Structures are given as structure tokens and as C-alpha cells.
Chains A and B, each alone.
Chain A
Amino acid sequence: MEFILEGFFQAIHLLITGNAETYSAITATIKVSSCSMGCSLIMGIPLGFCLGYFEFKGKKSIRTIVDTLMALPTVFIGLLVYAFLTHRGPFGDFGLLFTLPGIAIGQAILALPIVIGLSATAVESMDKKLRTTIMSMGANRRQLFLSSLWESRHGILAGAIAAYGRVMTEVGISMMVGGNIKWHTRTITTAIALETNKGQFGMGIALGIVLLTLALFVNISVSFLRRRF
């Protein structure tokens, strides 16, 4: 019990004194998660909206595939991305293995089905009377589409938060594709795993606190946005 308490105080010390190694992992995490979330939101929101909004042949099958991909294990994504990015793989020439963009690609693959699936659910659960309301006010097809998207914003935002939580806390992709290289591709989660293995609980707990603080910051921001819009 004592070593946990010690670790907690060490965490505060590391954060206050601006420990370079700690801040390197924090920076790497923010970089890759921002990049992967940006990509998955840009692709996932329109795809999810279309999946929920339009009726077409094969919709149920696509929905089942997306729902299945939402539960993809991170180590499996790590393995696949590793296979594609390694020198022997099809994208080996790009030299992305053991880089932050490599991790971002893996995390985007992790987040994309979550954004698509939860956006589609948000759109499907929209009130069916919304279409009549928007059309009766004189909207054309484009305005109907954009207004419907805006009306489902809260559900889509919830999906984005869920995806962000998954991306921030994953270890498998960062470890396999990034290689956990100090000062370079070490993220918060891989650093926690390593430091714990080394018995360095202080560093591990410090990084855990940072992770929680980041999650809190994101949720407060989203909560503010929801109230504002």
C-alpha cells in the first residue's frame, strides 16, 4: 500500500518539475490521438450519417460488419498495421513503422468503426418527424441533409467521445506499431506498461493521472460545447 502512496507523491513531483520523459510521452499521446481522431471523424461522421440516414440494399449487412469492427482487439489491429507497414509489407517503402504516424494509422482504424457505428445510431434514433418539420419550412435536399446532421450532433458527439476514450487508452497498437521507443514513440499507455514492469510506480501513476486529466478536460470541453450549441 505504501508504494502506491509513494508513487502518487512522485507523480505530483514529476508533473510539477516538468520531467522531460513524462512530458515526451504526454506530447506523443496528444499528437497521435489528435491525428487519428481527426481522420476518423472526417471520414466516419459522413459515412455514419449516410449509413443511418439512407435506406439501401445491403444496409443491414454493412451495419453488422461495422458493429463487429467496433469490437476489434487493439493487438489485432496492431498486428495488421505492422504487417502492412513492415519492410516486407505492401506499404513498407513509406517507412511508417515505429513512427507516430504509424500509430495514428492504427488508432484511426480503431476509432473509425466506432465513429461510423455510433453516428449511424444517432441518426437512426432521430425523431421521424424531423424530416417533415424541416421540409415543411421550405428546405431543399441539401438543407434537409445538413439540418438533419446538425440535429443529430449530440449523439454524434457522444460517439466521438467514446472513440476518443478507446484511442487514448489503447496499448496494443502503440506498442506493436510504435515500438515504445523512448523520446520518440513512447505514449502514455506504453510508458505506464513499461514503468510498471520496471517497478517504477511513480512514473506509472503520474502518467495515469495525466491520462485521467486529459479525459476530464475533453469531457468538460464537450459538455461546454453541448450547452453552447
Chain B
Amino acid sequence: MNAPTYEISSLTHFYNDNPVLDIRHLEIADSSIVGLVGPNGSGKSTLLRLLGLIERPTRGKIRFNGRSAEPFSDETRFQITLLPQEPLLMKRSVFKNVSYGLKLRGKYENLGDRVGEALSLVGLSEEVFARRPWYALSGGEIQRVALAARLALKPEVLLLDEPTASVDAVSAQLIKEAALRARQEWGTTLVVASHDWQWLYEICDNMLHLFRGKIFGTGRENIVFGPWQELGKGKWGKKLSDNQEIRIPEPPDKDALAIIDVFSVKEDNLEKGPNHITLSGTISLLSLNKITGLVHATIIVGSHPFTVGLTDQQIQAQAIYPGKTIWVQYSIDDIKWI
């Protein structure tokens, strides 16, 4: 059996003595697509920088294809490439930006063809863009040129940090298609950090949820932030903007994070079990999860999104569609704390 592309064990990383990442164990399989989700500051970009061997972890090891990996190592620097969240083009023409990595590898043959091919992958015409200087491009074009520069390398691993965060819908679609073609054509392993859950659900073989530097699930958990307040008579919870209450057992501390497992959605709130809470919300999004085959419904309760996985039968039986008002139900006893 082949070694996984990445194997991380007992990794911790600090910035100025502040812990930003703490991963006990993580494996990323060859030619897989892994999605990273989590709020801002959860450590997604840091993890990508470590996987891209841009930085060395404070403690712990990263193994790449079974071997210990270090920044600048000759064994890895031509295999892995990272597209940062706000990519920077060097002060040179588009052609020179895209061909830069190829030149570093000493690949001077058919340079024009390779650059043209990479540009066409991201929907840019070589004739129009190749000679343009770095300052004569829009934000979306910069993002696409930066991706083209990575795709020209036909990398073994492509790390994408919020690749569609600051581009228009057309550029986003082109970037998504280009990234997937890398996997289809060259077997590239993709690790993608994004807030575009729908896209990640569609393409990923595996999803990782990062929170405060730790991996703790698959990205489908409902995390509710504190602060919690005592609602009277020993009851704890949080008042939402529409006057509903998220009820919880007594929290370990007022700012603790609760993982709430929504076990059903219903068209009414007539049936209630002991310690079962029902909240009214509006379905805002439906997306198919490629891994489980479930349809994930995002339901906005107050201003808080809850996600629940539903089968085809449930969707049909309850006529689930975006915009519909529905009740979500969870059990106080099943709440877990972070």
C-alpha cells in the first residue's frame, strides 16, 4: 500500500508564543481532494502554509510521500505548490509570471506552449494576456494568472487558500474547473480551504473542520458560540434576534462553544420529547454531500445557520425547498462542548 501524500503527527505551531495549530494526527491520501472549513483565524491558512512547506512547524513532523519534509528540500519543493489567499504577481509580464516556476525547474523547452496551455486552463487567452504587465490586470485576472502559474508546473500537490474569495462568479467558476482538471489530468492531490461549502461538498473526498487550530470533525457540525446566559430557574441558553432561545445545559464556562446535533426537521413543532428543543427557521440552502450522499439543508434560525443532513426520502416527504419555514429539533442531552 502506498504511503499517504501527507502524514502529520503531534504537530503544534505558534506565532509569537500564541498557539495557532495543534494537530495530533492527519493523513491526506494520494490524489484526494480535501476541504478545510472553519471560521476566520481557525488555522486553515497556517495549515496550508505548513503543508506547502513555506514554514517549519514549531513542533512535530510533516511527512510527504513517507519522507520527512522540510522547507527548501530538493525532494519536495518541485512537487508541492500553494496558491495563497491574496496571491501576488511578481513585477514582470504575465508570461514571465507563469513561466517563472518552469524556469526554476530548468524546463525551458516549449515554454510558450506550456504557458499558453496553463493560461487557457484558467480561461485566459495567451495572445491577449501573455505580454501584459503585472499592473494591468483585474483582481480576478490576477487570481487566475497566479493559478495558471501553479498549474503550469503540473504539481503533485496543489494547495488552494480561499481561491474564489475575492473574485466574481465567472472567475470563481473558471478557477474551480481548472483546479478539478489538475486532479483529473495529473492526479494532483488538492487541499482547498474555502467558505464555499456547497462547492466543497460537491468536490471533496474528505472534509476537515478546523476550529481554534484543532481538527475536530467533518465540517458539518453546528457550532454555537457563547456568551451563554442564565435564563432563570436554572435554565441556560442564548436569546436569538427573533426572540427564540437556544437552550443548553449549564455550560463549562460562559464563552464555551456548543456542538449541537440537529436530529430532525419537521413542518410543525407538535411532537416534543423530554429535553427536546424545537426552533423555527428558514431553509436558505440545499447542497449535495458527495461523500455521504445526503442533502445538506442550511436553516437560518434567528441569524444563526444550522445544518442538517437529509435523505432523498426526507426531502420529498417534507417538501424541503429554500425559503420554506421549518422546525429544527435537537436534544439538550446530546450537546457537546469544545
Contact = CB atoms under 8 A, between A and B. Distances in A.
Given A127-B88, A130-B88, A132-B54, A138 B104 contact: yes
A138 B71 CA distance: 10
B153 A138 contact: yes
Given A127-B88, A132-B54, A147-B90, A138 B49 contact: no
B55 to A, nearest CB: 9
A187 B330 CA distance: 90
A129 B87 CA distance: 8
Nearest to B159: A136
B84 interface: yes
Given A141-B72, A143-B104, A136 B84 contact: yes
Nearest to B84: A132
Contacts of B146: 133
Contacts of B104: 137-139, 143
Given A140-B72, A140-B77, A135 B54 contact: yes
B260 interface: no
A148 to B, nearest CB: 10
A134 B89 CA distance: 10
A72 B77 CA distance: 46
A136 B105 contact: no
A63 interface: no
A127 B89 CA distance: 10
Interface in B49-63: 49, 52-54
Interface residues of A, number: 19
A127 B146 CA distance: 16
Contacts, number: 60
Contact of A136 (B72, B74, B83, B89): B83
A29 B293 CA distance: 80
A226 B164 CA distance: 33
A29 to B, nearest CB: 33
B87 to A, nearest CB: 7
Contacts of B81: 136-138
Contacts of A138: 77-78, 81, 101, 104-105, 153
A151 interface: yes
Given A135-B71, A137-B100, A129 B149 contact: no
A225 to B, nearest CB: 13
Interface in B130-146: 146
Interface string B144-169: 00100110010000000000000000
A167 B53 CA distance: 45
Nearest to B77: A138
Q: Which of B52, B104, B149 has the most CB of A within 10 A?
A: B104
Contacts of A140: 72, 74, 77
Contacts of A166: none
Nearest to A135: B54
A151 B90 contact: yes
Contacts of B153: 137-138
Given A129-B84, A141-B72, A136 B91 contact: no
Nearest to A137: B101
A137 B88 contact: no
Nearest to A128: B88
B91 A154 contact: yes
Nearest to B83: A136
Interface of A: 127, 129-141, 143, 147, 151, 153-154
13 contacts: A129-B87, A132-B49, A132-B88, A133-B87, A133-B88, A133-B89, A135-B71, A136-B52, A136-B81, A138-B78, A138-B105, A140-B72, A154-B91
| 3 closest residue pairs by CB, A with B | A137-B101, A136-B82, A129-B88
